[in-house]
Amino acid sequence: MKVLMLSDVYFPRVNGVSTSIRTFRRALAAAGHEIDLICPAYGDADVPEAGVQRISARRVVFDPEDRMMHARAVLRQADELAGRGYGLIHVQTPFVAHWLGVRLARRLDLPLTETYHTFFEEYLYHYVPLLPRAALRALARTVSRVQCNALDGLVVPSQAMLDKLRGYGIRVPAAVIPTGLDGDSLGSGDGAALRAAHGIAPDRPVLVHVGRLAHEKNVDALLHMLFELRRLVPDVLLLIAGEGPAERHLRALAARLGLDAQVRFLGYLDRAAGLPGCYRAGDAFVFASRTETQGLVLLEAMSLGVPVVSTAVMGTRDIVGPQRGAVAVGEDPVEFAAACARVLGDAALRARLGTEARAFAQGWSATATAGALAGFWQQCIDERLRTTAPCPAR
């Protein structure tokens, strides 16, 4: 199968969408599919990659990490794209890429599918604070309904997200297909080496959080939890890996709570080098986002045998809910802290959870989820052929 993919984000922009795109493209290519990607150019940090075309783009005013592609640069290629033999167009983001996907699908007469990665209802108000929160939620629901109902098929990473979208009035055919784990992407990781590099004692109780430092990730809740946990585990340390627009706010909050000795911000860590060691340096991985459509970092931690203590909200329910290698908690800081103290204080429990976590993560392979995506694409192609086939002559 040959598919044209469009996205408003991709590496070097580090986030879950970029990771999902790369994981699926690699697994689909290994299965014999050809997936071309059109995405923004970021500048000198761009790394050439087969099948990836970078489009000139400008910075987004309210989110300078992102880029907005020049749509005309893509549309001018429509005739050339028509000659490449694509069977379907798949969109990864609902901005310029979605608009281009709709235009190109009509012009090339191809089925159009899209992945709904982001829970925008609980996202927009962090970036457009001048408008009332209720109005932004209503806007997100309306735009999502209009955009998704224009598709031939919709992919969502979790059942909870699909349930939300059905509540918006989205009725197109849909499939729950999470991003799988690429078994070779993280390696084994050396937690002891990372601890040594940062002067952390081998026996110090350590929690880890990995993710983009954005307001919607609710890292604030982890700091408030840590404030309570310090009373139970005085020498606890929280490692926070990642960068983003909320970093200054989080550093200030940690200082106000008197947590300077209990928190260490590690910044961005390379996936192939520092990140696996960061996961493994932790006695447990902690998470509290309310807006995840999946929560891939949870699976990454679990695949390395690191127990998870997390809230189970939206997409994280599918991962944390079964409580195999994970402890599900509420957001209340006292409750969350008590669960962390129990895990940190019980080596046998950590060992059992770590074993369960590895086994659970093995069921989320990229090969399986890529196969499910290819199967859904084929269904959409077959349905388009069925509905557009000429009536038999009588």
Same domain for 288 and 332, yes or no, is yes
Dihedral class, residue 55 (left if φ above 0, else alpha if ψ from -120 to 50, else beta): beta
Q: How far apart are CA 388 and CA 144, in angstroms?
A: 26
Same domain for 204 and 161, yes or no, is no
Q: How far apart are CA 379 and CA 73, in angstroms?
A: 31
What is the reported pLDDT for 271?
83
pLDDT digits (tens, 9 = 90+) for 154-194: 999 999 999 999 999 999 999 999 999 987 667 788 999 99
Please check whether residue 164 lies inside any domain of the structure.
yes
The three-state secondary structure class of 271 is coil
Tokens 């209720």 label which residue?
134
Same domain for 103 and 27, yes or no, is yes
Task: List the chain pLDDT tens, one digit each, 394 residues.
Answer: 999 999 999 999 988 899 999 999 999 999 999 999 999 999 999 999 999 999 999 998 877 889 999 999 999 999 999 999 999 999 999 999 999 999 999 999 999 999 999 998 877 666 667 778 889 899 999 999 999 999 999 999 999 999 999 999 999 999 999 999 987 667 788 999 999 999 999 999 999 999 999 998 999 999 999 999 999 999 999 999 999 999 999 999 999 999 999 999 999 998 877 999 999 999 999 999 999 999 999 999 999 999 999 999 999 999 999 999 999 999 999 999 999 999 999 999 999 999 999 999 999 999 999 999 999 999 999 999 998 876 565 4
Please check whether residue 394 lies inside any domain of the structure.
no
Please check whether residue 17 lies inside any domain of the structure.
yes
- Give the chain's radius of gyration (CA, Å): 22
Please check whether residue 23 lies inside any domain of the structure.
yes
Q: Sign of the C-alpha dihedral, residues 223, 195, 11, 377? A: negative
Q: What's the whole-model pTM score? A: 0.90
Same domain for 373 and 354, yes or no, is no
Same domain for 140 and 196, yes or no, is no
Please check whether residue 33 lies inside any domain of the structure.
yes
Same domain for 78 and 223, yes or no, is no
What is the reported pLDDT for 133?
82
What is the reported pLDDT for 127?
67
What is the reported pLDDT for 46?
95
Residue range(s) defining the domain that contains residue 117:
2-180+366-388
Taking CA 337 as the corner, what is the angle to CA 336 and CA 338, rounded to the nearest 5 degrees? 90
Same domain for 40 and 153, yes or no, is yes
Nearest Cα to Cα of residue 111 among 87, 139, 128: 87
Helix H or strand E encompassing 53: strand 52-55
Domain count, the chain: 2
Please check whether residue 142 lies inside any domain of the structure.
yes
Same domain for 35 and 117, yes or no, is yes
Which residues are 113's β-sheet partners?
90, 153
Per 3-state DSSP, what percentage of the chain is helix, strand, and coil (rounded to 5)? 45, 20, 35
Same domain for 297 and 374, yes or no, is no
Beta-carbon neighbour count of residue 169 at 10 Å? 13
Residues 6+ apart with CB under 8 A from 244: 65, 212, 213, 214, 217
Residue 316 identity (one-letter amino acid): T
Token readout for 274 is 């520092």
Residue 358 identity (one-letter amino acid): R
What is the reported pLDDT for 122?
77
**Beta pairing, strands 284-287 & 153-156:** unpaired
Token readout for 93 is 């983001």
Same domain for 201 and 237, yes or no, is yes
Q: In this structure, what CATH number is given to the domain that contains residue 13?
A: 3.40.50.2000
Please check whether residue 321 lies inside any domain of the structure.
yes
Same domain for 338 and 218, yes or no, is yes
Same domain for 160 and 263, yes or no, is no
Please check whether residue 186 lies inside any domain of the structure.
no
